[in-house]
Amino acid sequence: MQRDDGIPAVSEQDDLRPREPWRVRWARRAVTIPAYVGLLVAYSGLVPALLPAVALYDVARKSRFAATRTVGFFGWYLACEIAGLLAAFVLWVAYRCLPGVGPEDFRRWNFRLQCVWARALGGGAFRIYGMTIELDEPAALGRRPLLLLIRHASTADTILAAMLVASRHDIVLRYVLKRELLWDPCLDVVGNRLINVFVRRGREDTATDVASVAALAGGLRAGQGVLIYPEGTRFSTKKRAQILAKLAQRGDDVGARRASGLHHVLPPRLGGTMALLERAIGWDVAVCAHVGLEGSASFGELWNGALVGRRVRVRMTVVPSESLPTAPDGKVEWLYDRWREVDRFIATQAT
């Protein structure tokens, strides 16, 4: 089904995700939405007195105003959250009150809101921290259904994909995200109106998780895609060492050999990613490698200037459907080959 803008609609029939009970959802929002409003009110009252003191602190430590920028970005983030929630409420009222508006229109509106929100938040962050971006990508994406495999270095990865793929190429992405992000009210409200899955981190892929991720493939068409972080969590040398130790403890020599060859990324978790690759018949697969956002993994890194003046390099390569292996074992080795390429890309980039 096509919309007037030529992009496929997101149909209710395609949404096969398990449903979170509405009581659970609204109990969470009853905490997060008032909390974010309260934080913005408190920030607005405190920042006139706080900002000069933080600026003097930055001058004393010669940090290129890293802490001042972080205070400014925190305010921008809160403003984007509240503006996004207000816009989401307006869309809900319009959906309920305007005649002739259906569920597909509502989802299309929310996709547009997601793109605007991501551009505002991500663009603001780049300006505030004085960052630049270098993008190496194919001329066009979205002519076929798309599976997007992206390196996981920070929370900002979510915004990066929305800016560079969803918004730039008008591709309606279905995300596999960690459940902790539901405590961000904009991601909770708008993310649950679209076709996304929020999975639990810190455990092995369960049959329920894999089935939820696989459900994202339902009815995927040109102009739509599924995004997954094959690593499952942000990279760190500590996490890499823990994974290697666990593989050795299990006696998984093949897994340990594959994982030991990756130095800047974690080995891909196979459950959800392989479930999607099994269903990627007629899809293209894009692999997104990026360097430069590692400094946004924690508040302390932001405060100390890890992102100030940073140049973010992004390389996106697309493997056409006809070049994908068909045998399951071949798909596993193919995935590791792609992740070795991402690892080499990171190794060759000076950050």
Residue 197 burial class via C-beta count within 10 angstroms: exposed 0-12, middle 13-18, buried 19 and up: buried
Selection from 234, 199, 329 nearest residue 277 by Cα: 329
Q: How far apart are CA 5 and CA 108, in angstroms?
A: 10
Q: CB count, 10 Å around CB of 30?
A: 10
Does the 12-23+105-348 domain belong in CATH 1.10.10? no
Mean pLDDT of 248-269: 92
Q: Give residue 334's pLDDT.
A: 95
Domain positions in the chain are: 12-23+105-348
The residue ranges of DSSP E strands in 45-131, in sequence order, are: none
Least confident range of 125-139, 198-212, 268-282 = 198-212
For 351, the 3-state DSSP assignment is: coil
Per-residue model confidence as pLDDT tens digits over 50-96: 999 999 999 999 999 999 999 999 999 999 999 999 999 999 999 99
Give Cβ neighbours of residue 183 (< 8 Å, ≥ 6 apart).
Answer: 28, 32
Conformational region of residue 232, where left means phi above 0, alpha means psi within -120 to 50, and beta covers everything else: left
By mean pLDDT, which of 102-106, 203-207, 297-301 is the weakest? 203-207
Note the pTM of the prediction, 2 decimals: 0.90
Q: CB-based contacts of 25: which residues, under 8 Å, 6+ apart?
A: 188, 192
Which of 33-47, 80-94, 245-259 shows the lowest mean pLDDT across its residues? 245-259
Residue type, 298: S
Percent of the chain with pLDDT over 70: 93
Average pLDDT over residues 124-146: 90
